[in-house]
Amino acid sequence: MLVIVKDSYDEMSREAARIIADRLRKKPDLVLGLATGSTPLGMYKELIRMHREEGLDFSKVTTFNLDEYVGLPPDHDQSYYYFMKENLFDHINLDPRFVHVPQGMAKDVDAFCGWYEERIRRAGGIDIQVLGIGANGHIAFNEPGSSLGSRTRIKTLTGTTRQDNARFFASMEEVPKFAITMGVGTIMDAKELLLLANKQSKANAVRTAVEGPVTASCPASIIQMHRSAFVVLDKGAASELTGLYNDTWESKIFP
Ligand code: GLP
CB 197 within 8 A of CB 206: yes
* Distance, CA of 63 to CA of 33 (rounded, Å): 6
Asked whether residue 39 is domain-assigned, the answer is: yes
CA-nearest of 157, 135, 131, 158 to 222 is 131
What pLDDT is stored for residue 184 in this prediction? 98
Q: What is the mean pLDDT of residues 109-118?
A: 98
Confidence grade of residue 103 (pLDDT, cut at 50, 70, 90):
very high
Asked whether residue 178 is domain-assigned, the answer is: yes
What pLDDT is stored for residue 253 in this prediction? 54
Asked whether residue 251 is domain-assigned, the answer is: no
Asked whether residue 78 is domain-assigned, the answer is: yes
What pLDDT is stored for residue 243 in this prediction? 80
Q: What is the mean pLDDT of residues 31-59?
A: 98
Q: Which amino acid is it at 210?
A: V
- Measured on CA atoms in the order 175, 181, 184, 190, is the torsion positive or negative? negative
**CA-proximal residue: ligand 1, atom 10 (nearest):** 132
What pLDDT is stored for residue 221 in this prediction? 98
Domain range for 143 is 2-237
**CA-proximal residue: ligand 1, atom 11 (nearest):** 37
Q: What is the mean pLDDT of residues 227-241?
A: 96
Q: How far is the CA of 140 from the centre of ligand 1 (A)?
A: 7
- Averaged confidence pLDDT in the chain: 95
CB 102 within 8 A of CB 180: yes
In the chain, which ranges are continuous DSSP H helix? 9-26, 41-54, 80-87, 109-122, 159-165, 184-188, 203-211, 235-238, 246-250
Q: Which amino acid is it at 206?
A: V
What pLDDT is stored for residue 244 in this prediction? 72
Asked whether residue 224 is domain-assigned, the answer is: yes
Confidence grade of residue 249 (pLDDT, cut at 50, 70, 90):
low
* CATH code of the domain covering residue 152: 3.40.50.1360
Asked whether residue 243 is domain-assigned, the answer is: no
Residue 140 has pLDDT above 80, yes or no: yes
Percent of the chain residues past pLDDT 90, beyond the cut: 91
| Counted domains in the chain | 1
Give how far Cα 103 sits from Cα of 33, 78, 138, 152, 254, Å: 16, 14, 21, 12, 37
Asked whether residue 248 is domain-assigned, the answer is: no
Asked whether residue 253 is domain-assigned, the answer is: no
Q: Which of 41, 68, 130, 138 to mutate to test the pocket of ligand 1 (most atoms within 8 A of CB)?
A: 138
Residue 54 has pLDDT above 80, yes or no: yes
User: What's the predicted TM-score (pTM) here?
Assistant: 0.95
